[in-house]
Amino acid sequence: MNSVPQHVAIIMDGNGRWAKAQGKPRSFGHLRGTENVRNIAIKANELGVKVLTLYAFSTENWKRPAEEVNYLMGLPKIFIDRYIDELMQKGIKIRMIGDIEQIPSETRKVLERAFEKTRNNKNMTLVFALNYGGRKEIVDGINRYVKQLDDKDHVLTEDEFSRYLYTAEYPELELMIRTSLDYRISNFLLWQLCYAEMCFIDKYWPDFTGEDFENIINDFMQRHRRFGGLE
Ligand code: IPE
Ligand code: IPE
Ligand code: MG
């Protein structure tokens, strides 16, 4: 039996389809999805997950209509204004991975304030993947590595390279969940998914409950992870 996974990641997909199914605009689905982040974060913290990484906006999501992109960029403020007190109370730290440079300055300010305010919280870390791309993360890591390199004969190891990724400070990813039943990775955590268990769920993100999350954690704990060996 495995322990509770230290690091869980979720591709929170299906907000648009969820809204469409009830004849509402896509933004309504995104708002409900944001409210659900609170529920799942509280549940994950209760269960003893140490890091929960949520895919909130990919480097490819800029292709969407400006109106939707603007709406999505306003969601961190809504989330933080509504839930920061509760997150503080529960000892949850907020962080992000991805390129913050392209994020509108208002949103950046709100995020940076939340990082600062929650930085000493010691329970779970809630990491938003925002303007995140898995390939971009690897290329950014290579560029940072090359920049500091002075011995051209140095042989880079996998462990050493991991420290150049956005996730350097977090434990190994053990479980990845995607809602809405699309069986793809969509440029998420390409390196980190190496030996993560995966779970694809037949529910849109706004309908995904704490109970669903708990069931997945229990299922994870029963899985037989071999890592290529025979044990
Ligand atoms: C996930 O929901 C949220 C983001 C990608 C920002 P979608 O907006 O992708 O919803 P669907 O997949 O169109 O239903
Ligand atoms: C992945 O969902 C990105 C996020 C959940 C933020 P998408 O809806 O963008 O992915 P595709 O387009 O279905 O691959
Ligand atoms: Mg989608």
Output the DSSP codes for 4-17: --SEEEEE---HHH
Tell whether the torsion through CA atoms of 192, 197, 200 and 204 is positive or negative. negative
3-class state of residue 127 by DSSP: strand
Q: What are the beta bridge partners of residue 198?
A: 176
CATH number of the domain at 213, please.
3.40.1180.10
Is the residue at 92 inside a domain? yes
- List phi, psi (to 5°) of 81: -55, -45
| Catalytically annotated residues | 13, 61
Is the residue at 65 inside a domain? yes
Predicted local distance difference test score (pLDDT) of residue 217: 98
Which pTM value belongs to this model?
0.98
Predicted local distance difference test score (pLDDT) of residue 8: 99
Ligand 1 atom nearest to CA at 13: 1
Q: Is the pLDDT of residue 231 over 80?
A: no
- List phi, psi (to 5°) of 51: -135, 125
CB of 11 closer than 6 angstroms to any ligand 2 atom: yes
Which residue from 10, 12, 13 has its CB within 8 A of the most atoms of ligand 2, so it is best to mutate?
13
Is the residue at 30 inside a domain? yes
State the DSSP H helix or E strand holding residue 103, giving kind and residue range, or none if neither. Answer: none
**Residue 221 has which token pair?**
């704990």
Predicted local distance difference test score (pLDDT) of residue 21: 98
Is the residue at 49 inside a domain? yes
Which residue from 10, 11, 15 has its CB within 8 A of the most atoms of ligand 1, so it is best to mutate?
15
Is the residue at 182 inside a domain? yes
Is the residue at 54 inside a domain? yes
Is the residue at 229 inside a domain? no
Predicted local distance difference test score (pLDDT) of residue 71: 98
**Residue 47 has which token pair?**
């269960």
Q: Where in the sequence is the domain holding 105, given as residue range(s)?
A: 7-132+172-222
Predicted local distance difference test score (pLDDT) of residue 196: 98
Q: Which ligand is nearest to the CA of 131?
A: 2
Mean pLDDT across 138-157:
96
Is the residue at 210 inside a domain? yes
> How many domains would you assign to the chain?
1
